[in-house]
Structure 1
Amino acid sequence: MSDSKPTLRDLAKHLGLALSTVSMALKDHPRLAQSTRDRVKKAAKELGYTPDPRISNVMGYLKKKRADKPVAALAYVTRYSEEIQLDKHPVYHNYLLGARERAAELGYRLEYFNMTLESLSGKRLTSVLQHRGIEGVLIPPIFSLDDSLDLDLTQFATITFGYSIDHEFINRISLNHYSAIFNSLEEVANQGHKRIGFIMEDMKERVQHRWKAAHLMFLDLNKDQEKIPAYEGKFNRDRFLKWFSVYKPTALLSQNIDCIKALHEEGLTCGKDYGFATLSRESNVYYISQIEDPKLRVQLKDLSGLDQNSFYTGRYAVEFLAQQIALNQKGFSEHPKVTLIKGKWHKGSTLHAV
């Protein structure tokens, strides 16, 4: 073998194996015996073989051009109940829309499965996915932490959204919850508010306490801020109004707009009597459209707060899943990856300066 960088053909000749076998082994293809894959990888390391990324890019492009239509398949698996419609939950709906768009761009067919509405057990769905040639599975957040998918994920490349699927060896993609809360609190403080009321509701377990950690750190680092304790637990109108009366925040930061409705009924105007910023503009745009009171709808027509970039999260999830498939990475990972997405702040009109 010459002193120049060894090629894939050189490696195959050295091992006495077919070129296709060596290529599959380097991609960790499951059709080859583990001993063969290990032997090829060891020889590649000893000989100093590394793939040329330029050639890989060209081959990937040629394969894509040869595909007249999407043939490889991905699955989007949910457990949403009949009462919960995707169009009423825009964040989750945007995950799906983004995933569909990127899957089509990459030549994948994305199939949607609802285990609840289709009465599919985990065992049955696993069989269906294998029969249809599904290579990768996307799992959006589940609404109840008591739910489980019971899928045999060892057969597929997998990525889940957020932290509601509590499995330590699964790859996931999520809004960067800690920075989302911390940065949002800073945005509110930048408008001059020193009495910020943070409404956390029942999100602690779903985000593994990142919201609370960010809130406490914000208060610790900003000594000029009044130490108003967060409103925690499921929203209750009477309990919230009592909390509001006791601590008198000048601005509220909340995932939902229930607090605005309660204060509106008490004669307070959002954006005038108090400031408000949401942690999910996508969701609340829909909820605002359902408000019957026209005066309240006008108050909230340009909601201040965080856009979670859920559409792009869906797109990126498919990209990362495609990478796993290309590397033949199936099942759980000993070193799982967590990809964090940054939200985007929208100034709006409901958070006034003081």
Structure 2
Amino acid sequence: MSVTLQQIAQTAGVSAMTVSRVMHHSPRVSAETRERVQQAIAALGYQPDPHLARMMTMVRGRKKSRVRAVIAVIRETVPKDALHGTTYQYVPIEDIRRRASQHGYHAEEFWLGKDGLDPARLVCILQARGIEGIIVSPQSSQMLCAQLDYAPFASATFGFGLTQPSLHRAAGNMNLGIQLAVKQLKARGYQRIGLAVTQWVDHRAEGAYSGAMLHVQQAIPQGQRVPVLLFPHNDFSRCRKEFMDWMQSERPDALITFDQHVPDWLEKMGQRVPEDVGLVVHDWTSAMKGYAGIYQRRDHVAAAGVDLVATQLLQNESGVPEVPRQILIPPEWIEGPSVRARQS
């Protein structure tokens, strides 16, 4: 026989509303009362009804949609920053809004650094508007979003750019992406496969790019191993010489790299794509249809980030988590004319 909230309330000597608040982690319950209710729950062996919980979640979602509850998407705009260019892609707001609307929320962008908007001022604006959920999308070397006070908010971040504080995060699985690209290039007969990305890209992925290449190189002959090139500048347009020197000394026949600058550099070196060198874009988007690439499925990354925030809001959780959760989305290989056809 199932245990009811009323039975728990009678055992603990409180109201059914208090029991409900304890179950939903409401801060409006004292520590002493919370402990008494939790002891009653354990003693009676209460198990929540998942079907009822899902129904109540839908009801709350409809109520929130009427008041147009907002999840803030916090970007950074630092025009002279080396990471400001289109090389460093955002998770599109359209994908974020699509998932947010399914939870009954609207997603609205706020830009740190724009018109003098600093972290302290932004927190004041969010609280004044009653916004309790935020997703941070760090996109500058200054990491302005690291200076936010996260205590009042249910929060999550995209990717691995924000290391401190450590929030719940949704990201593409870069390690798996490199392994997938190498497997596809091997199937096309390429043997000396090189990786050339900026230090920031590799650091943002917690070494997943370079780590994955070192892993796959253990399974190939030493003569086919190409040292990873980590461009020394985030503005890698300044790295032409380093790239050309690396190409001449290591002679890779396939590259996992950017779609910008590298094709021009290869042309100036007399290297044809894909006849002489195969080219794979490490972070493919629909604007790069002339290239093969690793698609990080940013629409799914967006959905996972929204889910993380919506779940915290449902559970009345806020602040920097003690144990941050990480959702890694598996990538997809995208065919393109910048690599040879697969060998039979």
- What TM-score, normalized by structure 2, do the two folds share? 0.89
1:79 to 72, 76, 79: 76
Amino acid at match of 1:314: A
Please say which of residues 172-181 and 32-41 is displaced more in the overlay.
32-41
Amino acid at match of 1:347: E
Q: Is the 8 A contact 1:70 1:104 kept in 2?
A: no
User: What's the CA shift for 1:23?
Assistant: 0.5
1:30 equivalent in structure 2: 27
Q: Is the 8 A contact 1:26 1:37 kept in 2?
A: no
2:247 equivalent in structure 1: 244
Q: Distance in 1 between matches of 2:127 and 2:182?
A: 46
1:215 equivalent in structure 2: 213
1:189 correspondence with 2:186: yes
Q: Distance in 1 between matches of 2:63 and 2:148?
A: 33
Amino acid at match of 1:239: E
CA gap of 1:68–1:132, structure 2 versus 1, over 3 A, is closer
Q: Is the 8 A contact 1:154 1:332 kept in 2?
A: yes
Q: Distance in 2 between matches of 1:310 and 1:182?
A: 19
Q: Give the SS at the match of 1:155.
A: coil
1:327-353 per-position Cα deviation (integer Å, ceiling 9, x unaligned): 111111111111111111112121115
CA gap of 1:23–1:225, structure 2 versus 1, over 3 A, is farther
User: What's the CA shift for 1:63?
Assistant: 3.4
Q: Give the SS at the match of 1:154.
A: coil
1:229 equivalent in structure 2: 227
Q: Distance in 2 between matches of 1:195 and 1:89?
A: 25
Please say which of residues 48-57 and 62-71 is displaced more in the overlay.
62-71
CA gap of 1:192–1:252, structure 2 versus 1, over 3 A, is same
1:295 equivalent in structure 2: none
The number of residues matched between the two structures is 335
User: What's the CA shift for 1:98?
Assistant: 1.2
Amino acid at match of 1:332: V
Q: Is the 8 A contact 2:137 2:157 kept in 1?
A: yes
Q: 1:253-272, aligned counterparts within 5 Å?
A: 253-272=256-275
User: What's the CA shift for 1:16?
Assistant: 2.4
Q: 1:286-325, aligned counterparts within 5 Å?
A: 301-325=289-313
Q: Give the SS at the match of 2:147.
A: coil
Q: Distance in 1 between matches of 2:46 and 2:333?
A: 46
Q: Distance in 1 between matches of 2:168 and 2:132?
A: 15
Q: Is the 8 A contact 2:197 2:229 kept in 1?
A: yes
1:177 correspondence with 2:174: yes
Q: Is the 8 A contact 2:87 2:258 kept in 1?
A: no
1:125 equivalent in structure 2: 122
Q: CA RMSD in A?
A: 2.4
1:291 equivalent in structure 2: none
Percent identity among equivalent residues? 26
Q: Is the 8 A contact 1:175 1:340 kept in 2?
A: yes
1:342 correspondence with 2:330: yes
CA gap of 1:204–1:175, structure 2 versus 1, over 3 A, is same
Q: Distance in 1 between matches of 2:249 and 2:279?
A: 18
Q: Distance in 2 between matches of 1:46 and 1:90?
A: 54
Q: Distance in 2 between matches of 1:255 and 1:227?
A: 20
- What TM-score, normalized by structure 1, do the two folds share? 0.87
1:294 equivalent in structure 2: none
1:312-334 per-position Cα deviation (integer Å, ceiling 9, x unaligned): 21122111110111111111111
Q: Is the 8 A contact 2:112 2:144 kept in 1?
A: no
Amino acid at match of 2:118: S
Please say which of residues 32-41 and 98-107 is displaced more in the overlay.
32-41
User: What's the CA shift for 1:127?
Assistant: 1.7
User: What's the CA shift for 1:141?
Assistant: 2.4
Q: Is the 8 A contact 1:263 1:269 kept in 2?
A: yes
Q: Is the 8 A contact 2:143 2:162 kept in 1?
A: no
2:134 equivalent in structure 1: 137
Q: Which runs of 5+ in 1 are unaligned?
A: 286-300
CA gap of 1:42–1:89, structure 2 versus 1, over 3 A, is farther
CA gap of 1:72–1:146, structure 2 versus 1, over 3 A, is closer
Q: Is the 8 A contact 1:72 1:134 kept in 2?
A: yes
Amino acid at match of 2:329: I
Q: Distance in 1 between matches of 2:301 and 2:9?
A: 40
Q: 1:155-166, aligned counterparts within 5 Å?
A: 155-166=152-163
Please say which of residues 319-328 and 183-192 is displaced more in the overlay.
183-192
CA gap of 1:137–1:19, structure 2 versus 1, over 3 A, is same
Q: Give the SS at the match of 2:35.
A: helix
Please say which of residues 115-124 and 21-30 is displaced more in the overlay.
115-124
Please say which of residues 325-334 and 119-128 is displaced more in the overlay.
119-128
